[in-house]
Every structure is written in structure tokens, then in C-alpha cells.
Amino acid sequence: MNVNEVLTSIAGEGVHANDHVNMGQSSNDTFPSAVHLAALDVATNQLLPALTTLELSLLAKSVEFQDLVKSGRTHMMDATPVTLGQEFAGYAAQIRLGRERVAATLVHVGQIPLGGTAVGTGMNTHAEFAAQVRARLIERSGLKISAPEDAFEAQASRDALVELSGALKVLAVSCIKISNDIRLMGSGPRAGLAEIELPSLQKGSSIMPGKVNPVMVEMLQQVAAQVIGNDTAITHGAIQGAFELNVAIPLMARNILQSLRFLTNATTLFAVNCVDGITPNIERLAAFAEGSLSVATALNPFIGYDKASQIVTEAHASGRTLREVARELGVEESVLDEALDMRAMTTNQG
């Protein structure tokens, strides 16, 4: 309604805010249409390209790190080997799938309720008004905009915004998982895992000289937490719909647009200022891989689970290597050479 008044003042003498500028419209259909269009625009033209940037950064690292064997970890305990490249390829896939989830929701976000006027019946509007406006919007914006499948569903509910927000929440969860792994791998430099080194962007402490903190990781995690919180508020707002109108659209609009913009900026910064500059600690990776007792899993097909467990228990208790204990217990050297090939363990051997 404020827009009507502004346009009236611009148009000049003889123009009425309701009879002319607002002809064939209602705030009940134009306001949610505007929110959907804003979310569709930011998601299409900002967030999806940003996610592509982050995916490509992670993919580039997966190629760079494809031959660097390291210890896998399950339950935060040593597990059979993987490559650093395989881990980063997994992160890239998470972002790609997140982008696909967001994109899949946009067909519904693009179904705007324009033309429904007050309650969805289209009272006081021309039969061709909504279609002609949608055509102009498509021409001007290039966005995928369409008529709603049902005018009354589109007028009364904001389920498409809930769907989009849900996809953003999944993406936020993925970002936290990825950034947690990267933060742990970069922990140290001497008292942590120190498998990788993150770019140094700023001084990390006002009291500890030389300390560098993973600020891009921490930024991404806080943004992701806000997005998850926004999703909860959007869900609550959508629940408030009653009969032919949801009055919580301002709440939903604020939160969905903030989530979109926050994720756009955060994923771009994380790609450029963190992922692109990650370097591996090759010696540390190799030491963890070679020292892991879980590589004894590869001996199972040759000597059985029980004997492999005996070797692990003795190696752990004595501080000796698996190879030393296995050799002492009668495992042939040729078997050890074949079974304890670290790189071979990272591939599917059928």
C-alpha cells in the first residue's frame, strides 16, 4: 500500500492510489508474489552460482589431493585408509547435492499468487491481468515464473517458502559438517591433527604471539547456525496461516532472504579465502596412515579376523608396528606386502 502511494505521487495529478495504481490487485496477492520473486531472484542469480564456486574449489582440491593417503576416521577413532582427495570429493558432492536441492524448490517458489486479489477468487481484476504481468516479469527478469497450480493454495499458504528454507537448512548442515572436518584436519599446528594447513588471514590472539585461528571455518559455521534458526522461524510463520491468508509473511520474507544472502556470501568467502588456499601436510598424512592399527583390516581375507585382532592388540600394547608383530606371528612377507599396500586400500577391490 505504501508503494501505491509512492507511485501515485510520482504519477501526479488525477491518479488515485487505490482506483488506479492498485487496480486489479490486492496486498494479499501482490505482497507474497513480491516475496516469492525476491527469493527466486536471489536463489537463482546469487546463491546457485556461489555454490558452484564452492563446489569447483572443493573439486580442484580433490584432484590435487587424490594420491595423498591418510587415516580414515569413524567414531573419531582410527579407521582404514582413505585419500585426502576422496574426502574433498565427498565435500564437493555435498555442495552439489545441496545446490540441486535448492534448485528443485524453485519451480514452486516461481508459482506466484498474482491475480488472486483478496482471497484467491480474483475479484475486481481483469481476466488477463495476471498472465500479462507474469509475461512481462519473465521478459524483464529471465526468471522461471509461472501461474500457481491452484489459486487458493497459492493465496492461503506459503509452503513453497518453507520448502526452499528446508533445502537451505540441509545446505547449512552440510556446510557445518564440511567445515568441522576441515577445522579438525587443520588443528594444531603442533598439538592437533595438522594434516592440512589453512590460509593465515589475520592474527588470532591479542595475547598469544603467532596464533592463527580458522576464522573462515568459524564464519561459515555461525552463518549456518543462523540459517537453521531462520528455518525454524519460517516454519513457525507458515503455521500461522488461517483460511485465505497468512499474516506472517513479513517474518518469512525477512528470514528467507537473509538465509539466501548469508549463504551466498559465506560460501563464496569460504571457497576463495579458505578452500583455495589449503595445503597438505604430506609427512603428517603419511605418518597417521602408516601408524593406524586399523589397516590390519586388510589382513582379514588372508589370516582371518581373530588373528588380525591378535596382531592389533599386541601392536598397540607393545608400541610396535603391525608388520613387525604380524611377521613375528608367522605371516609371510609377501602377504604383508600385498595386504598392507596403503594406496590399494583406498580403492574398491571387490
Cα–Cα distance measured from residue 330 to residue 317, given in angstroms and rounded to the nearest whole number: 19
Q: How many CA atoms lie within 13 A of 174 on its CB side?
A: 24
What DSSP designation does 297 have? G
Does the annotation mark 205 as catalytic? Answer: yes
User: What is the residue whose three cell numbers read 589453512?
Assistant: 198
Active-site residue among 205, 309, 316, 318?
205
Cα–Cα distance measured from residue 261 to residue 191, given in angstroms and rounded to the nearest whole number: 36
Q: What is the DSSP string of 230-285?
A: HHHHHHHHHHT-BTTB-TTHHHHHHHHHHHHHHHHHHHHHHHHHTGGG-EE-HHHH
User: What is the residue whose three cell numbers read 545441496?
Assistant: 98
What DSSP designation does 125 have? S
Does the annotation mark 316 as catalytic? Answer: no
Three cell numbers written together for 5: 502511494
Q: How many CA atoms lie within 13 A of 126 on its CB side?
A: 8
Three cell numbers written together for 51: 555454490
Cα–Cα distance measured from residue 69 to residue 285, given in angstroms and rounded to the nearest whole number: 7
Cα–Cα distance measured from residue 60 to residue 48, given in angstroms and rounded to the nearest whole number: 18
Q: How many CA atoms lie within 13 A of 112 on its CB side?
A: 29
Three cell numbers written together for 254: 525477512
Which residue numbers are catalytic? Answer: 75, 205
